[in-house]
Amino acid sequence: VLGLATLEVRGGKADAAVKRLEAFIEAHPQLPAARLSLAELLAKTGAPDERVTEVLVNAVRDEPAQPALRQALIDQRLRLGQVPAARQAAQEAVAALPQEPDLLERLARAQLAAGDRAQAGKTYNQLTTLAPARASGWLGLAQLRFLDKDLAGAEREVKRALEAEPASANAQRLLIQLT
C-alpha cells in the first residue's frame, strides 16, 4: 500500500495517495507505521498543519502505547511552535511510557522550549540515569550548562556524551566549539 501511495504521489496524484492510506488505516487501524506514513504524506504534500496534527492526535488516542506516534506528535507541536501543547503531549507520553528514552528527551526539549530550564535539567538527569549509554541526555545537560555560561561544566557533559557514544557527531562538534 505504501509503495502504491508513493507511486501515486510521484505521478502527481497526492489526493489519491492520501485516500488510499486513509482507507488502509480504516481497514487496519492497529498499524502505527501506516498512520505515521499518512502524517508524513500530508506534510509533504502541503496539507494544512492542523490536518497533520489531527492525524497524529487521533493516532496517539487510538494507539497510546506506540512511542513513535507520540514522538511524531510532540515533534509536530514543537515544529509549529505550539510549546504548551508539545509539553503536554510529552508529559502524557512519559507518563504512559516512562521507560522510553526518546520520549524523555523530547519532554526535556519541550520544557526547555517553554523556558523551564530547571525542569529540563531534571528530565535530562532522568534520561542519563535511564539511558547512560546515549549521548542525548549528556548533550542536553551540556546545553543547559552552556546557557548558564558554565563552559567547563558544558565541556564535562560533552565528554560524558562522548564516553557514552564516541561516534556522536553532535558531541564531537560541541567539544570542538567548547575547546
> What distance in Å separates the CA atoms of residue 95 and residue 104, rounded to the nearest whole number?
10
- Read off the amino acid at residue 125: N
Within 13 Å, how many C-alpha atoms sit on residue 75's CB side? Answer: 15
pLDDT tens for the chain, 179 residues long, are 666 666 666 667 777 788 888 888 888 877 888 899 899 989 988 899 999 999 999 999 999 999 999 999 999 999 999 999 999 999 999 999 999 999 999 999 999 999 999 999 999 999 999 999 999 999 999 999 999 999 999 999 999 999 999 999 999 999 999 88
> What distance in Å separates the CA atoms of residue 4 and residue 49, rounded to the nearest whole number?
24
pLDDT tens for 106-144 read 999 999 999 999 999 999 999 999 999 999 999 999 999
pLDDT tens for 95-108 read 999 999 999 999 99
Distance of CA 160 to the CA centre of its chain: 22
Residues 32-53 as b/e (b if ≥16 CB within 10 A, e otherwise) read: bebbbbbbebbbeeebeeeebb
Cβ contact 178:155 at 8 Å: yes
